Amino acid sequence: MRIRERRKFFRYSQEELADRVGTDQKQISRYENGVNDPTADVLANLARALETTTDWLVGLTDSPDRPLRGEYDLDEVEREAVKILRSKPAAERRRVVDILRML
């Protein structure tokens, strides 16, 4: 696990990270030292608190940066915009994107 590395990147103490995750300092220490493995829920909370992905925390990717937001993260207005954009021909979609960049 890369919890310690990312925690130090943000200059969080184990107690600060524990507060953000909803656990205690001793448990963070156990995770960092490989004594315990976090549950899926805790792993997701760690990823959010450390602004990274669960994949990076467990070593499945080398990039700690979060991926671009996916469709599942879109709010109602964003979903509507995507729906409208997808309904247009390619040339019109390009114009809409160009207009959005100018805003």
Rounded to two decimals, the pTM is 0.63
Q: Which CATH class is domain 3-57?
A: mainly alpha
Output the DSSP codes for 33-53.
TTSSPPPHHHHHHHHHHTTS-
pLDDT tens-digit series, residues 17-57: 999 999 999 999 999 999 999 999 999 999 999 999 999 99
CA distance 32 to 75: 35
**Residue 38 burial by CB count (10 A; 0-12/13-18/19+): exposed, middle or buried?**
buried
What are the domain boundaries of the chain?
Answer: 3-57, 71-102
Residue 19 DSSP class: H
pLDDT tens-digit series, residues 70-96: 666 678 888 898 899 999 998 899 998
